[in-house]
Amino acid sequence: MRRERQDELTQKADAKATNQNKGHSMKLGVIGAGLIGGAVARLASAAGHEVVIANSRGPETLAALAQEIGARAVSAHEAATAEDMVVLSIPFLAVASLSPDLFAATPAGAVIVDTGNYYPQARDGVIAEIEDGMLDSEWVAGRIGRPVVKAFSMLKARSLATRGRKPGTPERIAIAISGDDAQARARVATLIDQTGFDPLDGGAMSESWRQQPGTIGYCHDYDALTLRAALAATNRSRIAWYREEADAFAIEQIKLLGSIEAVSAA
């Protein structure tokens, strides 16, 4: 625990220094305060961004976390109106039940980031469109009615929370990004760099299958060169197999650890 705390303090200092070099502060909303969403909110706030955070249970349940990380707890609808970026970090099961007007007031220029992963048997239930070949984040974009950028989806929560480092650090961990808008990808890349990781542009949304659960780079702390090789080696014809393997592993780990959130923290 002492080593993890030291890693977290180092990451906060590096993120702050990186953002000072970039010289730009964003207004960022995070919907979902689990291990990934909470980590993104914490890191973005530490990097100097104005962060609001929301969950499904109401802002009063996030008061302590918001105070701790220097964010503001709000409703999901308010978080979705963040001027620059909205990070959606909830299970696919919850995406399916989102209010249809949640993103109606999201500014046209705001980038929406999807951090989610589809686990049909372990958590989310079977989604026919994905089983029929739709990519995970394509489905999310269709549900919310807005294009998304897929990012922060491949790392374990513990690595995201504690292993960020300043630019140029040897073996700095990389995070892949995919989406159809190159400018949106670039904005997410800036945030990733500011939070302590090397952004790796994975191209259009049609390439996002390389980031899905069970693929070669999934849940590995790879540097940019190694992650690029892992993405390139991933075989699209094996998407269903990758998913089944990841799902089966998650089910076994849930039996041991008690929840899928505990699995992602391991």
What domains are defined for the chain? 2-265 (3.40.50.720)
- CB-based contact 210:234 (threshold 8 Å): yes
> Could you read off the pLDDT tens digit of each residue along the chain, which spans 266 residues?
544 545 555 555 454 444 444 557 999 999 999 999 999 999 999 999 999 999 999 999 999 999 999 999 999 999 999 999 999 999 999 999 999 999 999 999 999 999 999 999 999 999 999 999 999 999 999 999 999 999 999 999 999 999 999 999 998 999 999 999 999 999 999 999 999 999 999 999 999 999 999 999 999 999 999 999 999 999 999 999 999 999 999 999 888 887 776 666 54
21, 24, 30, 34 alpha-carbon torsion, rounded to 10°: 10
Helical H segments across 23-46, by residue range? 35-46
When the pLDDT of each residue in the chain is averaged and rounded to a whole number, the result is 92
- CB-based contact 8:196 (threshold 8 Å): no
pLDDT of residue 20: 41
Structure tokens at 244: 């089944």
Residue 173 DSSP class: B
pLDDT of residue 8: 54
Q: Which residues pair with 173 in a beta bridge?
A: 223
Coil, helix or strand for 53? strand
